[in-house]
Amino acid sequence: MKSFLLALALTFGALPVVAQQQETKKVCVDVKDKEGKPVKDPKTGKVKQSCKDVKQHKKLEGTEVPKK
């Protein structure tokens, strides 16, 4: 009985780990002020950017739904 419960706990405990391994993509957007002009960093002179990691979903292929 203990081995069964251990196997059950390991099986269901591993599912969330597999679900967290998704592909991510880094997306950066230029920062703009109130007037809509890009904000430059005073030290480097480059435009500041706001970056985020976004989950990338896989596109599923299927068959067309028949019309009624």
Q: Are 32 and 38 in contact (CB under 8 A)?
A: yes
11 within a domain of the structure (yes/no): no
Q: Report yes or no on 63 lying in a domain.
A: no
pTM, two decimals, is 0.46
The residue range of the domain holding 39 is 22-57
pLDDT digit string (tens) for 14-67?
A: 544 445 567 899 999 999 999 999 999 999 999 999 999 999 888 888 888 888
The answer as to whether 45 is a domain residue is yes
43 burial (CB, 10 Å; 0-12 / 13-18 / 19+) is: exposed
For residue 10, is it within any domain?
no
